[in-house]
A and B are shown apart, each in its own frame.
Chain A
Amino acid sequence: EVQLVESGGGLVQSGGSLRLSCAASGFSFSSYWMTWLRHTPGKGPEWVASMNQDGGERYYMDSMKGRFTISRDNAKNSLYLQMNSLRAEDTAVYYCARETRAVFDPWGQGTLVTVSS
């Protein structure tokens, strides 16, 4: 069974940092693009960042450039998101997802990030 499990969320003050992790299992992790998305209740999901199989290509939503860094460790079947200079508007549930044909399937269960001002 394909499974993605996020961890690392929590409460952080504005300007602070967090590192999210996503543990993958049940598929050949090193063969897929991987993505971070986030979702605030009442709004549509928001794409955050994507990375290709070997880490040579990384893309970010404009508002995250310079603050967030996506990375992966294929030996550990893990995806990461380093988030710095956090703002109140970054408060959301963060999901990792496997990317195939530019759609996301599956998504993990999510980890909540709350940024207090």
Chain B
Amino acid sequence: EIVMTQSPATLSVSPGERVTLSCRASQSVSTNLGWYQQKPGQAPRLLIYGASTRATGIPARFSGSGSGTEFTLTISSLQSEDFAVYFCQQYKNWPPGYTFGQGTKLEIK
């Protein structure tokens, strides 16, 4: 099983700041990686797929990069609605065998 590790677990940031979240795979997943945002009481929402392609309706301040085992999600200027938990998901071995990271929580500093 491919293990996904996200860091840090929690990040305290101020609105307007630029933030970068990291996701590492235990083996290469090429660019078979997605990012999701989850707000309290809501289901996860797809942000990025193919490591760098924004999903429909996702603002341009969200960008993804990376390939192989190292990936990042960057939010260029944090808005109040961006404080949430972010998960990465690999899908190299599809089907089946999707795995998610444990998440990074963005908190207001």
Query: B-contacting residues of A (Cβ < 8 Å)?
Result: 39, 43-47, 50, 57, 59-61, 95, 101-110
Contacts and interface: CB of A to CB of B under 8 A. Distances in A.
Given A50-B95, A106-B43, 15 more contacts: A39-B44, A43-B103, A44-B99, A45-B89, A45-B100, A47-B100, A50-B96, A60-B96, A95-B43, A95-B44, A102-B32, A103-B46, A103-B89, A104-B44, A109-B43
Contact of A57 (B50, B95, B103): B95
Main secondary structure of the interface of B (DSSP, over half): loop
A108 B43 CA distance: 7
Given A44-B87, A45-B100, A95-B43, A103 B49 contact: yes
A45 B34 CA distance: 13
13 contacts: A39-B44, A43-B103, A44-B4, A44-B100, A45-B36, A47-B99, A102-B95, A102-B98, A103-B91, A104-B89, A106-B45, A106-B46, A109-B42
B66 interface: no
Interface of B: 4, 32, 34, 36, 42-46, 49-50, 55, 87, 89, 91, 94-103
Contacts of A108: 43
Contact of B49 (A43, A95, A101, A109): A101
Contacts of A107: 43-45
Nearest to B91: A102
B98 A47 contact: yes
Contact of B94 (A46, A61, A102, A105): A102
B4 A103 contact: no
Contact of B96 (A39, A47, A110): A47
B102 A43 contact: yes
A59 B95 contact: yes
A50 B91 CA distance: 13
